[in-house]
């Protein structure tokens, strides 16, 4: 054994030794770890033990393993992209999300109905008709991807003539259309994090051990009536959300459940 004496499972001892090596700068960010064969030799353990140790480090997000090449230390992941979630407005026009999103494809427009998740948020029963618009967004500067969805109840579309014909409008312009229809808009938003589903992992091109940030934003009009629902999913380690907050009098807080 080479420098391993602490108690606990062998593979954890190996993992701890490698962790220490990373912390000590023996393996700087981006550099390769010793190969499995070398780790076997160095710590005098079997291959399953080495692989178990590497698996532990990978699920901590500390290293990245590439088939046929080796294991590499991830660089301390400062989020590359900041997504500003505060809504800004100049007169009657709303500023777009300052992230330089590009659409990977044309938006997908479809019809659907409320579910037990979306129904309560829109203050509708189950089975009510909705327009849905899905977009895959890309930030070309960082390569970060995001999935964006807008759900527009038929009732909302009917009251804002611009929307009924073209639900695949940018969110800023939906806001403007709703304002033009006489609404004074406010928003409520919830944020949660979870591990991605398999399809999300491929759609967002997520590496291992990367959680998904999931936001639900409800746009409220006059009398706090819910008008539309937006959903945004993106990488929790590549992107961060940003909010600006001002103190407000304690109106009845809308309870937002998901």
Residues binding a second copy (CB under 8 A): 55, 59-61, 77-79, 82, 84-90, 94-95, 98, 175, 185-195, 197-198, 209-213, 236-237, 239-250, 253-258
Instruction: Output the smallest distance, CB 110 to DNA, in A.
Output: 34
92, 176 Cβ separation under 8 angstroms: yes
- Rank residues 57 and 185 by Cβ distance to DNA and give the closer one: 57
Q: At what angle do helices 47-59 and 10-23 cross, to 10 degrees?
A: 50
Query: Residue 213 pairs with which residues in a beta bridge?
Result: 193, 234
- Rank residues 2 and 253 by Cβ distance to a second copy and give the closer one: 253
Instruction: Output the smallest distance, CB 189 to a second copy, in A.
Output: 5
Partner from a second copy, DNA, none contacting 49, C-beta within 5 to 8 A by type: DNA
Instruction: Output the smallest distance, CB 209 to DNA, in A.
Output: 13
The helix/strand/coil state of 36 is: helix
- Separation between Cα atoms, residue 72 and residue 57, nearest integer Å: 11
Neighbouring residues of 116: CB distance < 8 A, sequence distance ≥ 6: 126
Partner from a second copy, DNA, none contacting 105, C-beta within 5 to 8 A by type: none
* Chain residues in the site for DNA (CB under 7 A): 9-12, 33, 35-38, 45-49, 51-52, 54, 65-71
Q: At what angle do helices 10-23 and 36-43 cross, to 10 degrees?
A: 110
Instruction: Output the smallest distance, CB 188 to a second copy, in A.
Output: 5
Instruction: Output the smallest distance, CB 37 to DNA, in A.
Output: 5
Neighbouring residues of 157: CB distance < 8 A, sequence distance ≥ 6: 131, 163, 164, 167
| Angle at CA of residue 155, ends 151 and 158, nearest 5° | 105
Partner from DNA, a second copy, none contacting 199, C-beta within 5 to 8 A by type: none
Instruction: Output the smallest distance, CB 69 to DNA, in A.
Output: 5
Partner from DNA, a second copy, none contacting 239, C-beta within 5 to 8 A by type: a second copy
Tokens describing residue 142: 């960082």
- Rank residues 18 and 121 by Cβ distance to DNA and give the closer one: 18
- Separation between Cα atoms, residue 50 and residue 204, nearest integer Å: 30
Partner from DNA, a second copy, none contacting 103, C-beta within 5 to 8 A by type: none
Partner from DNA, a second copy, none contacting 94, C-beta within 5 to 8 A by type: a second copy
Tokens describing residue 97: 């999300």
């Amino acid at each position: 054994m080479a420098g391993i004496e602490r108690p606990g499972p062998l593979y954890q001892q190996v993992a701890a030794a490698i962790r220490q090596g990373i912390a000590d700068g023996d393996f700087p960010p981006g550099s390769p770890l010793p190969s499995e064969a070398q780790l076997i030799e160095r710590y005098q353990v079997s291959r399953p033990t080495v692989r178990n140790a590497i698996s532990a480090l990978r699920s901590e997000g500390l290293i990245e393993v590439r088939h046929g090449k080796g294991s590499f230390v991830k660089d301390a992941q400062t989020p590359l992209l900041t997504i500003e979630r505060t809504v800004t407005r100049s007169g009657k026009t709303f500023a777009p999300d300052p992230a330089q999103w590009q659409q990977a494809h044309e938006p997908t427009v479809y019809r659907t109905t409320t579910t037990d998740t979306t129904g309560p948020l829109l203050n509708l029963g189950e089975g009510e008709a909705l327009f849905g618009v899905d977009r895959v967004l890309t930030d070309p500067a960082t390569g970060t991807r995001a999935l964006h969805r807008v759900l527009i109840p038929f009732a909302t579309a009917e009251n804002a003539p611009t929307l009924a014909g073209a639900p695949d409008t940018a969110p800023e312009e939906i806001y403007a259309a709703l304002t033009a229809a006489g609404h004074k808009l406010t928003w409520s938003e919830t944020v949660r994090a979870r591990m991605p589903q398999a399809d999300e992992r491929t759609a967002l091109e997520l590496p291992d051990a990367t959680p998904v940030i999931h936001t639900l934003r409800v746009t409220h009009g006059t009398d706090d009536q819910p008008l539309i629902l937006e959903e945004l999913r993106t990488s929790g380690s590549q992107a961060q959300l940003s909010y600006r907050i001002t103190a407000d009098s304690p109106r009845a807080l809308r309870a937002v459940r998901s």
